[in-house]
């Protein structure tokens, strides 16, 4: 399978925890679909202290994985949303 675009999209979205509404990432998202995964190289600002754990409520919102050979966070359904 093809790797994600190296340059990446220019549109940024804010990603929040569904439980406590605290901001998790500022992410360069491509396309207009749902938030399923976040490639680590596209995260422009990370507000978390530990990987995949919300800094406020300590809820696990994603899992670390490889998608098409690139490190990414796979979002658990309903645990995070974007604006």
Distances (CA, A) of 78 to 4, 11, 20, 69, 70: 24, 22, 13, 25, 23
Give the per-residue pLDDT at 6: 64
Domain ranges of the chain: 12-82
With vertex at residue 24, the alpha carbon angle to CA 16 and CA 19, rounded to the nearest 5 degrees, is 45
Q: What is the pLDDT of residues 25-83, one digit of tens each?
A: 999 998 889 999 999 999 999 999 999 999 999 999 999 999 999 999 999 999 999 99
């Amino acid at each position: 399978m093809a790797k994600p675009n190296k340059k990446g999209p220019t549109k940024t979205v804010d990603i929040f925890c569904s439980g406590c509404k605290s901001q998790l990432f500022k992410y360069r998202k491509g396309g207009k679909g749902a938030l399923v995964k976040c490639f680590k190289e596209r995260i422009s600002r990370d507000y978390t202290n530990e990987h995949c754990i919300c800094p406020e409520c300590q809820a696990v919102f994603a899992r670390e994985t490889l998608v098409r050979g690139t490190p990414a966070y796979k979002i658990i359904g309903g645990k995070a949303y974007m604006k």
